[in-house]
């Protein structure tokens, strides 16, 4: 692995993943929050943050965002996390949570792709 890929954004993405694992699998659900479907917002936010940090790592390393790889990773992680929650924790696996996960990842990747395209277009205009 090139050292260019190992930047602060990769380290933050790893920390985010560890925190996600804790909150998804080990943190017990406390009192219900008075906001309806708040857990869906949390799932969306967890996956948005994870894939935004991965995209920032690509920005920092000046490489193209591997959209296909990240989408496959998001689908796999969403499916695995909900399956693990259903089988091995006190929580319940929920297909709607998985959909919220994928929406969060898709939003992050969509935003990152637009930013990367805009940056490349603006750098071409300078020359």
Question: Which range marks the domain in which residue 81 is found?
Answer: 3-23+38-126
Report the largest interatomic distance among the alpha carbons of the chain, rounded to a whole angstrom: 58
- Among 29-33, 37-41, 50-54, 118-122, top mean pLDDT goes to 50-54
User: What pLDDT band is residue 11 in, cutting at 50, 70 and 90?
Assistant: very high
- Considering the domain boundaries, does residue 77 fall inside one? yes
- Considering the domain boundaries, does residue 107 fall inside one? yes
* Phi (first) and psi of residue 6, to 5 degrees: -95, 90
């300078």: which residue's tokens? 126
pLDDT tens digits for range 64-99: 999 999 999 999 999 999 999 989 877 788 899 999
- Considering the domain boundaries, does residue 32 fall inside one? no
Whether residue 39 has pLDDT greater than 90 = no
């Amino acid at each position: 692995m090139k050292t260019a890929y190992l930047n602060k954004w990769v380290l933050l993405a790893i920390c985010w993943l560890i925190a996600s694992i804790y909150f998804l699998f080990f943190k017990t659900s406390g009192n219900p929050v008075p906001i309806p479907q708040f857990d869906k917002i949390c799932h969306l936010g967890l996956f948005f943050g994870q894939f935004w940090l991965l995209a920032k790592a690509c920005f920092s390393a000046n490489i193209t965002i591997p959209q296909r790889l990240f989408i496959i990773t998001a689908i796999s992680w969403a499916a695995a996390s909900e399956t693990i929650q259903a089988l091995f924790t006190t929580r319940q696996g929920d297909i709607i949570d998985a959909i919220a996960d994928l929406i969060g990842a898709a939003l992050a990747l969509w935003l990152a792709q637009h930013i990367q395209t805009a940056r490349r277009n603006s750098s071409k205009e300078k020359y």
